[in-house]
Amino acid sequence: MTLLAGCGGANGGAGSAEPEPTGTVKASEASASTASATGDTQTQMADQDTGKKIYLYGNDFVDLIAPKFAQETGYQIEAVHYGGGEALAKIEAEQGNPQWDVLMMDGHGSVRSLADRGFLMTGWEPDNLSKLTQLGASLVPADRAYFPIGIHASAVIAYNTKLVSADRAPKTWDEFFAYDGPVGHADPAVAAPGYPLVSAFFERWGIPEAEKLYADRFKKGLRIYPKNGAVGKALLSGEIQVAALQEHNAYELKLSGEPVEIVWPKEGAPGSLRVVAISKHTKNPAAAKAFVEYMMKPETQAMLTALETTDSFFTPLAEGVSTRSEREPNGAFLLPSAEWAAEHEVEIKTWFADQSAK
């Protein structure tokens, strides 16, 4: 069932983590604070490690976070930056000889699928788990296969103001699909936020209805681009007039003075949940666990939300950390359950690829 969560800042705390919710939660009720593992715990865990470098696979923030983590903890780490689809493909290819230790990426459905197929460490509870916000705690799976870091809009409605007037611009997702003109968004098989985008629609409307809406939209003019950067360029060039565009990219264009306006639909923007998970086969569990603890710290998340780039536009799930004021203060997210998104991932991506190829 869809989670509807406001994207404003939060102050409310949470108790122990619970399984994925089936109700409605406002992000304004949530935000999180954490603490690092104690020295004794780190020492005990370190006995299990080889002492060698760990490898972090992921997309946003990995290049920034890795050196800071190494400096602050003393653990050796190397970040390998992939797009979402690329990271998943690499992990699949390495099944016989995994080279990664930690994964941090958008798309809890895809990560849930890895857990269901035995790729991830489960059953471990970070010390910082109890410090998550109410929203963050509600998104922790019962098997502790991954841990939520933040959530942002995998797509808002963005339109070129030189080509589309405010009164003609779509205000809802129904209007987006009905829009009389070329539209576009990122490829769900390539861009990390792409599958969270389409899975939100497929879960919201049901698979048969979503397939019909997309089939009709392809006929009217739906263009698919590998990643959101290309979607933004197409919007500016006039190749498309309206885009379902990741909020980072949409706000970057608007705040830099480009002719772009943003609509955050009242029914919600598809949410992209950033999570961190540990390989079941890591030979360095102490270092990997320390990285998870580090990402759940309020200091780490506060550092990320304070970045001068629009990558900082996300709802932190650490208690006491504020979101950027430039974002829509009362926005909401459409977030399918991880189980639903994982169950239907291959089906939806395959159907979508077939349609795109026509």
CATH number at residue 260: 3.40.190.10
pLDDT at 22: 29
* 82 within a domain of the structure (yes/no): yes
> Per DSSP, what are the bridge partners of residue 183?
222, 242
Query: For the ranges 74-78, 84-88, 139-143, 207-211, which has the lowest average pLDDT?
Result: 84-88
Count of domains in the chain?
2
Q: What is the pTM of this model?
A: 0.84
How confident is the model over 291-316, as pLDDT tens digits? 999 999 999 999 999 999 999 999 99
What is the domain extent for residue 70? Answer: 3-152+271-335
The DSSP secondary structure of 224-235, one letter per residue, reads EESSHHHHHHHH
At 152, is the secondary structure helix, strand, or coil? Answer: strand
pLDDT at 59: 86
pLDDT of 199 higher than 60: yes
237 and 276 share one domain: no
Query: Token pair of 330, please?
Result: 């009362």
Question: Is the separation of the CB atoms in 112 and 341 below 8 Å?
Answer: yes
pLDDT at 32: 32
148 and 166 share one domain: no
> Per DSSP, what are the bridge partners of residue 262?
158
In whole numbers, what is the pLDDT of the chain averaged over residues?
A: 88
pLDDT at 152: 96
| CA distances, 31 to each of 15, 51, 124 (Å) | 12, 34, 22
